[in-house]
Amino acid sequence: MAIPPPDQAAADWYSTRRMPRWLPRAMVLAFILLGLFELGNWAVHRLLGLFVLVLVAFFVSLAMEPAVDSLAGRGMPRGLATGVVFVLLYAGVAGFTAALGVLLVHTVSSVVDELPRLLNEAVGWVNRIFHQDFTVAKLRARLTSESDVISGYAQRAANHAWGLSYTVLGELGRFLTVALFSIYFTVYGPRMRRAVCSWLPTRRQDMILRAWDLAIEKTGGYLYSRALLAVISAVAHALFLMVLGLPNAIELGICFGVIASFVPIVGTYLAGLLPILVALTIHPIDAVWILLFVVLYQVFQDYVLQPRITAHTVDVNPAIALLAVMAGGALHGAVGALLAIPAVATLQAFLSLYVKRYEVADDPRIDRVGHRVSRRSRRGQAAESPSPATEEPRDS
C-alpha cells in the first residue's frame, strides 16, 4: 500500500476539517428567520387589541346586515339604510347608558340619604342578635381616630379616579373604532364578499358565501333573540316593581332586561342589584321579594322562554353555550364571552353542512331508560341463539 506524501496528507486533513460551504449561509438564514419571528411576535402582540376590535366590528356588521338588506331591498340606497340602522342602534345604546347613569346617581344619592337610618337599624339588629352594645357614634369615633386608614383610603380613591378617567377615555376610543369599522363593513359588505371570492376558485366560492350567510343568520338571530328576551324581561320586571311601588319602575325594568339578557352568565345577578338597593332604601322587605321574583323569572326564562325563542334563531345546547361563554371570557373578557355564542352557533351550522352523519340503529343500549337488560336475560339470549359452528346448514 502506497503512503501519500506529506503535502498531500496535510491537504487531505485540512479539507476534512474546514467549515462546510453551506454552513455560513445556513447560519445567516437562521438569524434572518429568528429576526422575522421576533418582529412578527412583537407586531402580533401590539396589534392584537386592534384585531379584536375589528373582529367585534365584523360581528356587529353581521348582526346589522339583515336589517340593512331589508331596507335596501325596498329601494333605499345601501349607504342611507346603513346610516338609519346604525343611528337607531347607537342612539339606543347612548340612551340606555344615559338612563343607567341617571338611575345609578339617583340610587346612590338615595342610599346616602338613607344611610344613617340603615346604619341605626343594622346596629340595632346586631345588638339584639349578638347581645352587644354598639352605637353609631362609637363606630364613627373609632373610624375617625384611625387617621392613617382614612388618609390611605383617600389616596387610593384619588389614584382610582385617575385610573377611571383613563379607562373611560380608552373605552370611548374603542367604542368609536368599533362603530366606524362596523359601518364600513356593512356598507361595503357586497364589495368585500366579491373581493374575497376573487381570490378563490369557483368551487370554493360557494363554501365561503354559504359560511358568510350562516354567520349573518346566526349572529343576527342571536342579537334578535336577546333583544326579544330583553323586552319580555323588562316588561315583566317593570310591572312587578310597579306593583311593589318602587320609584322609576319602568327605567329599572328596562335596565334589568337589557343587562340580564346581554351580559352572559352573571347578567341577571348584576341587574338585580340596582332594584334591590332601591328597595332597601324604601322598604327592606321588598328586596327579598325582588330577589325571589328574579330567581323564579330566571328559571322560567331558561326552561320555557329561551328554548322556544332560540329554536327559531340560535339553537345551541345550553351546556355548550355555557362552555363557550366561559372559554370566550377566559380568552378575552366580556367581549369574548359576548361573541362566543354566535361564533359557536355559526361553526355548528357550518359543520352540519359539511360533516357527514350516519343513521343510528335502534338499540336498547343507547336509550337505557326503561330498556335496561340484565345479565341473566343477556345470558339467556346468548344461550338460546345458536352459534355459527353448530348451526345446521340450510337447504339451498
- DSSP for 311-339, written as a single string: TTS----HHHHHHHHHHHHHHHHHHHHHH
How far apart CA 299 and CA 296 sit, in angstroms, is 5
If phi over 0 gives left and psi between -120 and 50 gives alpha, with beta otherwise, what is residue 314? beta
Report angle CA 261, 267, 271 to the nearest 5 degrees: 95
Q: What is the pLDDT of residue 373?
A: 47
Q: What is the pLDDT of residue 346?
A: 73
**pLDDT mean by block of 10 residues, the chain; 396 residues:** 55 59 84 90 84 83 86 88 89 81 75 69 73 67 55 54 61 81 88 86 83 80 83 90 87 86 77 84 85 89 77 66 74 69 74 73 69 49 49 45
Q: What is the pLDDT of residue 217?
A: 80
Instruction: For the chain, give every domain's residue range.
Output: 72-136+162-354
How far apart CA 253 and CA 236 sit, in angstroms, is 8
The residue whose grid cell reads 438569524 is: 31
How far apart CA 384 and CA 217 sit, in angstroms, is 55
Q: What is the pTM of this model?
A: 0.64
How far apart CA 88 and CA 94 sit, in angstroms, is 10
* DSSP assigned state of 133: -
Q: What is the pLDDT of residue 240?
A: 92
Instruction: Give the number of other Cβ atoms within 10 Å of residue 280's Cβ.
Output: 18
> What are the two backbone dihedrals, phi and then psi, of residue 3, each rounded to the nearest 5 degrees?
-95, 125
